[in-house]
Chain A
Amino acid sequence: MKKNWRSSALFAYSLAILAFLYLPLLILTLYSFNDSRINAVWTGFTFKWYIALLHNQRVLEALTNSLMIAAVSTFVSTILGTMAALALNRYTYKYKAVINGLLYLPILIPEIVMGLSLLVLFSQTSVPLGKVTLILAHITFCLSFVIITVNARLEGMHKDLEQAASDLYATPWQTFRYITFPLALPGIVAGALIAFTLSIDDFVISFFVAGPNSTTLPLYVYAMVKRGISPEINALSTVLMFATISLIIIAQVLQPQHTSSKKEKE
């Protein structure tokens, strides 16, 4: 009886914390449909702020920039990251600790430090800030995440099939083309989705390396927040939020479930 009381209290507390995590996001979403411009009181349901976004030239430009930058950085970081993950999973290196350090350090270092270090690099080498510097920066912070994601998939894979293929005289390329690559593909797609999400969503690093004509959506949101509250920010934030959520859910579904694979081994 006493134990029951305790576990339901714990459960209620946890639900309250989940509510704390989601209520603000829910309220923001609701307000993006609120008719009132002052937006404190609910005056009616409307899509007009979303329609306003579609007619806002600067929003559309920021959207184009964001998509273009995300597409290019995803493409490059996925290729480089997948190659690196394949190699690290298969071969041993003399300086493996140093290599791992270099690959994972970008995740561990505070984002702001990475942003300003790239700003310093670009200014010392006189590269003008703009879309190019944004793409270079985004590839850099996406790379480690792609490597980790693809590597997780490769580690969960059984090596038997590759062994069988080479026993059956498949060339290394054939083994890769018909066995390794298809098996690793969900991990690669998950890595690409994570890279795309990180790029679309990034504010801190972009803030340092963006130029006058390369505003991305998060940078535009920041500028609007700094100028004051308007219902369009609610709508734009909601769009960004739901784009992120959908991408992450797809990536999660594609990723191997570590806990279950572990139990299989036991």
Chain B
Amino acid sequence: MRKGKLLVAPAISWLIFFFGVPMLIVIAVSFAARTPYGQVIFNFTFANYQRFLEPLYIRIFVDTVFTALVTTLITFCMGYPLAYSISKLPHKWQQPGLILVMIPFWINFLIRSYAWVVILRSQGLINTLLLKLGWITQPLPLLYNDYAVMLGMVYALLPFMVLPIYVSIEQLDHRLLEAASDLGAKPFTAFRKVTFPLTLPGVAAGSILVFISSLGMFVVPDVMGGAKSALIGNLIQNQFLSARDWPFGSSLSIVLAVLALVLIVLYYKAIQKQEGGTNNEEKLA
């Protein structure tokens, strides 16, 4: 027991100091005021949270949530069939198929967004091609608008959707499908009544991952979006790096973090309810 504590202590202390403490300071700063020069002064105030109610910020908040919802929906429509196809591959092809989906996940959003800039910009691949073919006379404004941001988000976050769905399909009890077909269910009916409902936890996990990640995203709108495509992530970035309003930036990021954590906790609660029995086992151990 003592040895166990010694082994885990360095990692825990590190995370307390470089993760726990900074978060507490951000919470404190979010209730602080600032001088005209951007210095933080610790006078307790709710003003930073009240500022959300200004129409400008409400609009950005609504835009962010809307973008995140649409991104989640589109990645689901693309991710579910892809995960399903991988699970139907012969066993030895499944791992490579999965790695193929996961590789882009590890390449950073900056480079992946930039790849789209090369394709979509006014002297980019698509516009050059269309101009050469004579289909257009003016380059189309494909980049630096809200659609480009949406495309970039879907592109960046698709792997987050595929993996949890694949895991839940893989864990499916195949005897249930056999039972369904023995009872005369057509494959599509079996899918609709058995496979899909049973893989909903995977869908929920993927959706939460995509939704949370798009809420906090600032790279994609920064690289692919126009002047009006700012989302919460860009607003936070601005408060810290150009506007130097750290208290307001802190309150924004606390709201973002709390939103993310609430969604994750709700998800775990829902999963535990479903599994029921395993929950008790954990308590015993």
Q: Is A203 an interface residue (CB 8 A)?
A: yes
Interface residues of B in 7-37 (CB under 8 A from A): 7-8, 10-12, 14-16, 18-23, 25-26, 29
Q: Is A175 an interface residue (CB 8 A)?
A: no
Report whether B18 and A136 are in contact in the complex, using a CB–CB cutoff of 8 Å. yes
Interface residues of A in 60-105 (CB under 8 A from B): 80-81, 83-84, 86-88, 90-93, 99, 102-103, 105
Report whether A83 and B11 are in contact in the complex, using a CB–CB cutoff of 8 Å. yes
Q: Is A140 an interface residue (CB 8 A)?
A: yes
Q: Is A118 an interface residue (CB 8 A)?
A: yes
Interface residues of A in 1-60 (CB under 8 A from B): 3, 6-7, 10-11, 13-14, 17-18, 20-22, 24-25, 27-28, 31, 38-41
**Contact check: which of B1, B99, B110, B216 meets A218 at CB < 8 Å?**
B110
Known contacts A6-B188, A40-B124, A121-B22; is-contact A110 B260 (Cβ 8 Å): yes
Interface residues of B in 97-156 (CB under 8 A from A): 99-104, 106-112, 114-119, 121, 123-125, 127-128, 132, 155
Q: Which A-chain residue is minimally distant from B265 (CB atoms)?
A: A108
- Chain A residues with Cβ below 8 Å from B76 are none
**Contact check: which of B1, B127, B219 meets A204 at CB < 8 Å?**
B219
- Chain A residues with Cβ below 8 Å from B16 are 102
Q: Is A163 an interface residue (CB 8 A)?
A: no
The segment from A152-160, A178-186, A242-250 found at the interface with B is A242-250
Number of B residues contacting the other chain (C-beta, 8 Å)? 83
Min CB distance, A91 to chain B, in Å? 3
Q: Is A241 an interface residue (CB 8 A)?
A: yes
Min CB distance, A9 to chain B, in Å? 10
- Chain B residues with Cβ below 8 Å from A40 are 123-125, 127-128
- Chain A residues with Cβ below 8 Å from B233 are 110, 112
Q: Is B264 an interface residue (CB 8 A)?
A: yes
Report whether B15 and A143 are in contact in the complex, using a CB–CB cutoff of 8 Å. yes
Min CB distance, A208 to chain B, in Å? 7
Instruction: Indicate with 1 or 0, residue by residue over A191-226, a CB within 8 angstroms of chain B CB atoms.
Output: 000000100011110001000000000100110010
Min CB distance, B7 to chain A, in Å? 4
Number of A residues contacting the other chain (C-beta, 8 Å)? 81
Report whether A28 and B115 are in contact in the complex, using a CB–CB cutoff of 8 Å. yes
Could you tell me the distance between the alpha carbons of A82 and B29 in the complex, rounded to whole angstroms? 34
Report whether B223 and A147 are in contact in the complex, using a CB–CB cutoff of 8 Å. no
Report whether A84 and B155 are in contact in the complex, using a CB–CB cutoff of 8 Å. no
- Chain B residues with Cβ below 8 Å from A21 are 101, 104, 155, 158-159
**Contact check: which of B7, B14, B110, B240 meets A203 at CB < 8 Å?**
B110
Could you tell me the distance between the alpha carbons of A234 and B81 in the complex, rounded to whole angstroms? 32
Could you tell me the distance between the alpha carbons of A7 and B155 in the complex, rounded to whole angstroms? 24
Interface residues of B in 218-249 (CB under 8 A from A): 218-219, 223, 233, 236-237, 240, 246, 249
Interface residues of B in 55-105 (CB under 8 A from A): 78, 81-82, 84-86, 88, 94-95, 99-104
Min CB distance, B173 to chain A, in Å? 11
Report whether A87 and B170 are in contact in the complex, using a CB–CB cutoff of 8 Å. no
Could you tell me the distance between the alpha carbons of A137 and B14 in the complex, rounded to whole angstroms? 11
Q: Is A171 an interface residue (CB 8 A)?
A: no
**Contact check: which of A25, A88, A102 meets B15 at CB < 8 Å?**
A102
Q: Is B200 an interface residue (CB 8 A)?
A: no
Instruction: Enumerate 24 A-B pairs (CB-CB under 8 Å) in ascending A order.
Output: A21-B155, A24-B118, A27-B125, A28-B118, A40-B127, A81-B11, A84-B10, A102-B16, A102-B20, A103-B12, A110-B233, A112-B233, A112-B236, A113-B216, A117-B23, A117-B25, A136-B18, A137-B18, A144-B15, A202-B108, A225-B114, A229-B121, A245-B107, A259-B94
Instruction: Identify the A interface with B (CB < 8 A).
Output: 3, 6-7, 10-11, 13-14, 17-18, 20-22, 24-25, 27-28, 31, 38-41, 80-81, 83-84, 86-88, 90-93, 99, 102-103, 105-106, 108-114, 116-121, 124, 136-137, 139-140, 143-144, 147, 197, 201-204, 208, 218, 221-222, 225, 229, 233-234, 237, 240-241, 244-245, 248-249, 252, 257, 259
